[in-house]
Structure 1
C-alpha cells in the first residue's frame, strides 16, 4: 500500500491523545471509604470487570479513529495495472530550411513536402493525435488545432536534424501511454548533420518508436553561392578606400561563366554600386575584391548579390556593414595651464587617448604607419587657467574626460551634470587638487558614485587592484593576466567612496575599496577612476597597461568596445534584445502535453536596426551545399528505428498504471468506529 499525501501520516502521532486523557482521568479518581456503602460493594464488584473492559474498548476505539483519520488524509492506494487500447500519436516534422526552396515537382520542394506529410497523416484517419512542426535551425511547433499547415514564403534557415529529433523525443515523453510514430519530411541534406556531433545514445530516443523519413529532395542540384563577404579593413575613415572581399563557390556540376556580381553600399542618403563579372569552375571557389573608394562618414549597409539562375536563390545575396568614421571629438578638462606641459594632469591622458596600439613588430618604417588603424579619438584639452568653458554640446563632444576631479568649480560640476543628463558621457579621474570644498560640490551633484571622502594614503604597502568585473565589455580584455595583469599597478592614494545602490563597481582595490565605478545619470553615464590620471598618486602612467586601460574606459562609454555598433548574427541564433511584438512562453508554463513555443530567434536575412546597434543577419554557408545522403544514414546517426510494414503501430493494447485509492473504505470504517465510540461512551461510567 502506498500513500499520495505522505505528510499527513505525521498526524498519526495524535493517537497518544486519547491514551493520555484516559490515564489522566484514572489519576483524578479519589477513593473514599463510606460505611453506608459497604452493602453496595458486592453489587459494584460484580459490574467492575465489565466496566473495565468497556473502558479499554473505548480507548482503543478512539485511538483507532484518530489513526484512521490521519490515514484517510494521506490517501492510501493500491497500485494496479489495467489494459486499454492505445491512442495513436503522430509527430510530423517538415523541413523548412533554405534548401527546401529549390524547384520541386509542384512548385518548390517544400510544397512537395507538405503534400507528402498530409498523405501520411491521412493514413491514420481521424482518431490519431497529430502534432505538426516546422524545423530548420530550431523547431517551431504549430497549434494543436492545425490540420494542414500553410507553407512559409521565406525559407532562410539552416538544417539541424538534431534539434528535430530531440524535439520529437520530448513530445513522445509527454504522451507516455500513446502509440507514437514520427514522420520527418526532408530533402536529406547532408550538411544538416554538421550540427549534430552527439552520439545516438545520448539522445535517448526510444527504439520502440518507428520513424518514417520521407525524402522529397532532388537527385541533383545546380548552385552558385556567395559563402563569404566582409570588409578587408576592420576600421575605416573618410581618407581610406573601402575594400570588400567575397568568396563564391560553385556546388554544381557545370562551370559558371561571366556571372554578374554587384556590390552596393548605402548610408541612407547616398548609394554606391560596383559591378563585376565572375567565372567560377565546377566544384571550386573564387575570391574577388571590390573597391568602393572613399565613403562618407556614417554607418554603411553593404550588400553583395549575384544574378544567376541556379536552384537555390537564398545564398545569392550576402550582407555586411561597416562604419566609416572620423575620429570622435573628446574634451579633456585640465585645471592647470597649457604651459605646465608634461606636469599637467591631462598630459598622459591626452597622449593615451590620441594614440592607438602599436602595429605588429614585423612591420617597420613607413609601412607600419600606413598599416596602423586610424585614431579613434580627436582630443581637445581645455586648460581652465587659460580659458573658460563654454556650453557643452553632446553632439560636438560625445565624451568629456576630467583629469583632476578637484580642479572643477561648483558651477562647472553643475554644467557637467546637465551635459550628462542630456545623454553625454563623462570619465572622471581623482587627483591631487581634491579638497573638502570640492568634495562638497561633487557630493551635492548626481555625478558621484556615492559619498566621496577625502583622499586616503596607502602607507607602506601601495593599493593594488584585486578584483575586476570581467563580464563587462570594458574590462573583459583584462580577464586573462597574460593579456594584461592590472594587479601589477600600484597606487599611493585613492579617493574613498561609499557606493550608492545604483552604482556598479567595476574594479576594487585590496580591502574591498572601489577602484572603478559606473552609474547612469539621466540619459548619460559616468565612470569614475578613484585614483589619479597622472603620476601624482602612482607610477601607472609608465606602465604598458596605461594606454589600453584608458582606451577601454573611453571606448566603452562610447559603445566602441565588445561588438560595437555593428553586430553580426546568423539565422537561427537567439535574439539578444527584447522584441515587444513577440510573446515568449517557456516550456514550464505550458501543459506538458502541449508543444512548447519556440524561443525568439533571428528568422530571416537582412539588416535590423536597434537603438544600441545595427544587426547584420546572414544564413550559414553550410546550407549552400546540396550534397544529399540516404535515409538510413540519418537513422543510423541518431539510432532511429525506421518504420516499415512490420513495426508501424496499428492496434495494440497499452498497459497503464492505475492507482486504486482506499479512501472510500477508510471513510466507511471511520463512520463505523464513530458510531461505536458513541455507544461505548454512553454505556461507560468512569
Structure 2
C-alpha cells in the first residue's frame, strides 16, 4: 500500500493523545473503611469490572479513530498492474553513424540494420505501438511505416549510445501502462561508449525494461583515415609559403604502400592541386606535408583526399581553410611634431603594432627567403602608418581601406580632425582612442576644447571630465568583462593579470547609456569602453598610450593588450571568419545557415538559405563540406573517433550500460510492467472512520470515570 500525501502520516503521533487523556482521568483517592458502606461496596465492586472493560474499549476505539483519520488524509492507494491486448510498446533505435556506411551483407551496414529492424517490428503484429528513431551523436525520431522505412543516403555522424538509451528510457517512462522493450541495432563500435563511468551510471535503465541488442557489424574492417589537416595559422602572409600538414592513420591489420593522396587549394578563381604518395604501416600514423607555395590574398579552401577505396569512405577526405592577407592597415594619429617622434605617444604604439605576438591565433614572426640568398622578416598582423598633425595633413580615411584609426592623445586633436573621424566611424570605420591632456609641445587644441568637440561628435563614450591624478597609490584595473572577445584572454590570471598594471593618471567619464564598460579602475571608474556610432565602433582606453600617465608601457602586458584591442576592432580575435566544426555540432547562428556545396572545394557553389526554409530547419551541422553563414566560413569535417572500427561484444555492451538484456528467442519482457494506475482506498477508510466515531460516541455515553 502506498500513500499520495505522505506528509499527513506525521499526524500518527496524535494516537498518543487518547492514552494521555485516559491516564490523566484516573482518580487517585484515599480509601476509608466505613462499616455502614459494607453492603454498598459489594454492589459497586460487582459493576467495576464491567466499567474497566468499557474504558479499555473506549481507549482502543479512540486510538483507532485517530489512526484511521490520519490514513484517510494520507490517501492510501494500491498500484494496479494492467495487462491488456494492444499494450505492447517497442522502441526501435537504428544506428546511423559514419561507421554504418561500411559494406554489409545487402549493401551498407545501415541497410542490414533497417532490414532486421523491419523483422523485429513485424514480430509484434499490428496491435503494438512502435517508436522509431535514428541515432548518432543525437536522436531523431521518424515515422516508422514498415512499407516506407529506408536507410538514409548520407551517414556521417559519430556514435553516442548513451544519448540513444536515455531517449528510449524517457519514452518508456512517459507511457508507464505499456509493456515495453527496446531494440537497438548497431555495429557496436567501441568509440560510441560513454567514456565517463559516472555519466553512464546516471542512465539508470529500469531493471524491468529488457533491451535487445542486434549486432550488424563486420568481424574486421580495413580503414585508412585522414585524421587532421592543419596549417600554421588561419591568417597567413602573402610572403609566406603555405604548407598544409595531413595526418594519416592505418586502422587495418596490413601495411599499405604507395597510398596516393591529392591536396587541392582553391579561392574560387584559382586552384592549386598537389599529388603525393605515402607508405603506412598497420596500426601507425604518418604525417605528410603539402607545400602550395605563395598564394595571392583571399580566403582559400583546402581539401585533402585519399585516392583509395577502403571500408569507410567518409574519413578519406578532410578539409581546412585559411586567409591570405596583407597586414591590416592602421592609421596612428599623433597631435605632436615629427621632430619629437622619439618622445611622442605614437612611438610606443607604432612599435607595439609592428611587433608580432607569438600566439597560435596570430602568425609567428619568421624569416622567409628574399630570393637572393638574403632573408627578410615576415610582416606582422598590423601595418601602422604614423601621421603627425603638427607637420602632416590628415590623409583620406575610408573604410575598409583604412581598417583602423588609433588616436594616441585625445586632448591633442583639433576640432576639424575630430569631425573627420566622426564621418569615418559613421561610415563603418574602427576607432581606438587613448586619453591624454594635449600638453606636449606643439600639441594643438587644449584638452577642454577637445573634450567639447569629442562629445559633440558622438565619438565620446559619455561626459568627459578633467584628468584625475592618483594619490600615494596608483590606479589599478580591478574588474574585466571576460565575456567580451576583446578582453576574454585576460580573464585567466595565468594568461595575463591586468590588475598588475599601474596608472598615475586617468580620464574620468560619466558613461552614456549606449556605452559598454569593458574594464574598470577602483571605485567603479571606467577604464576601457566601447560603443557604436553609425556603422562603426569606438573604443576608449582612459589612460595614456605612453609613459606620461604611468609606466605601463614597460609592462609585459602592454604589447598583448594593445594587440588585443586593435585585433578585436578588426574582427581578428575569437574564432574569426573561419571556424572549424564537426558533424553533429550545434550551429552558432540560427537566423541564417548554409547548405554544403556539392563540390566542397569550390566556394562559388556555396549558398545561403534562411532558417525558415526546409533546408534550414536543422540546428546542427549535418554534412561534410564548407558552409557560409553569418559572414563566417564553417569548415565541417567528420569526427576522428568514427575512423576506429574496433568493436565490442554484446555482453560487454550490456554490462557497460547496466541494462537488462532481453531473453533470446522471446518477444516478452522479463517482468511485468507495473503501471501508475492507483486504486485509492479512502472510501473504505472513511466508512471505517464513521463506524469508529459511532462506537466511540456510544461507549463514551455508557462509560463513567
- Equivalent residue, structure 1, for 2:429: 424
Aligned-partner Cα distance in 1 for 2:90–2:628: 41
Q: Are 1:385 and 2:390 an aligned pair?
A: yes
Go from structure 1 to structure 2 and tell me whether the alpha carbon gap of 1:413 and 1:302 turns closer, same or farther (over 3 Å shift): same
Deviation at 1:154, TM superposition (A): 1.3
- Equivalent residue, structure 2, for 1:631: 650
Q: Are 1:402 and 2:407 an aligned pair?
A: yes
Q: How many residues align?
A: 585
Farther-moved stretch of structure 1 (96-105 vs 143-152): 143-152
Cα deviation 1:272-328 (Å, max 9, x = unaligned) = 110112232333322211111111112211110011111111011001112222111
Contact 1:89-1:128 within 8 A present in 2 as well: yes
- Equivalent residue, structure 2, for 1:350: 350
For 1:354-373, list aligned pairs within 5 A. 354-357=354-357
Q: Are 1:477 and 2:489 an aligned pair?
A: yes
Deviation at 1:199, TM superposition (A): 5.8
- Equivalent residue, structure 1, for 2:202: 202
Contact 1:181-1:211 within 8 A present in 2 as well: yes
Deviation at 1:470, TM superposition (A): 2.0
Aligned-partner Cα distance in 1 for 2:216–2:122: 18
The normalised TM-score by structure 1 is 0.78
- Equivalent residue, structure 1, for 2:293: 293
- Equivalent residue, structure 2, for 1:128: 128
- Equivalent residue, structure 1, for 2:568: 556
Farther-moved stretch of structure 1 (436-445 vs 302-311): 436-445
**Which residue of the other structure, out of 530, 533, 544, is the alignment partner of 1:532?**
544
Go from structure 1 to structure 2 and tell me whether the alpha carbon gap of 1:177 and 1:501 turns closer, same or farther (over 3 Å shift): farther
Aligned-partner Cα distance in 1 for 2:366–2:128: 77
Aligned-partner Cα distance in 2 for 1:561–1:181: 51
For 1:180-199, list aligned pairs within 5 A. 180-193=180-193, 195=195, 197-198=197-198
Deviation at 1:652, TM superposition (A): 5.0
Contact 2:177-2:673 within 8 A present in 1 as well: no
For 1:60-99, list aligned pairs within 5 A. 79-85=77-83, 87-99=87-99
Aligned-partner Cα distance in 1 for 2:257–2:171: 49
Q: Are 1:436 and 2:471 an aligned pair?
A: no
Go from structure 1 to structure 2 and tell me whether the alpha carbon gap of 1:543 and 1:229 turns closer, same or farther (over 3 Å shift): same
Go from structure 1 to structure 2 and tell me whether the alpha carbon gap of 1:196 and 1:308 turns closer, same or farther (over 3 Å shift): farther
Go from structure 1 to structure 2 and tell me whether the alpha carbon gap of 1:147 and 1:399 turns closer, same or farther (over 3 Å shift): farther
Aligned-partner Cα distance in 2 for 1:460–1:558: 38
Deviation at 1:662, TM superposition (A): 8.8
Aligned-partner Cα distance in 2 for 1:495–1:621: 52
Contact 1:265-1:271 within 8 A present in 2 as well: yes
Aligned-partner Cα distance in 1 for 2:546–2:83: 83
Structure 1 alignment gaps of length 5 or more: 7-74, 585-597, 667-686
Deviation at 1:604, TM superposition (A): 1.7
- Equivalent residue, structure 1, for 2:227: 227
Aligned-partner Cα distance in 2 for 1:365–1:105: 55
Q: CA RMSD in A?
A: 3.4
Aligned-partner Cα distance in 2 for 1:196–1:150: 34
- Equivalent residue, structure 2, for 1:211: 211
Deviation at 1:371, TM superposition (A): 11
Deviation at 1:268, TM superposition (A): 1.8
For 1:465-544, list aligned pairs within 5 A. 465-544=477-556
Contact 1:199-1:637 within 8 A present in 2 as well: no
Farther-moved stretch of structure 1 (364-373 vs 530-539): 364-373
Structure 2 alignment gaps of length 5 or more: 8-72, 439-445, 593-609, 687-705
- Equivalent residue, structure 1, for 2:661: 642
Counterpart secondary structure, 1:491: coil
Aligned-partner Cα distance in 2 for 1:231–1:365: 15
Deviation at 1:512, TM superposition (A): 0.5
Go from structure 1 to structure 2 and tell me whether the alpha carbon gap of 1:398 and 1:647 turns closer, same or farther (over 3 Å shift): same
Contact 1:358-1:372 within 8 A present in 2 as well: no
Counterpart secondary structure, 2:314: coil
Q: Are 1:250 and 2:244 an aligned pair?
A: no
Aligned-partner Cα distance in 2 for 1:611–1:175: 42
Go from structure 1 to structure 2 and tell me whether the alpha carbon gap of 1:622 and 1:385 turns closer, same or farther (over 3 Å shift): same
Q: Are 1:137 and 2:149 an aligned pair?
A: no
Counterpart secondary structure, 1:471: coil
Deviation at 1:482, TM superposition (A): 3.4
Contact 1:187-1:216 within 8 A present in 2 as well: yes
Counterpart secondary structure, 1:490: coil
Go from structure 1 to structure 2 and tell me whether the alpha carbon gap of 1:468 and 1:222 turns closer, same or farther (over 3 Å shift): same
Contact 1:260-1:307 within 8 A present in 2 as well: yes
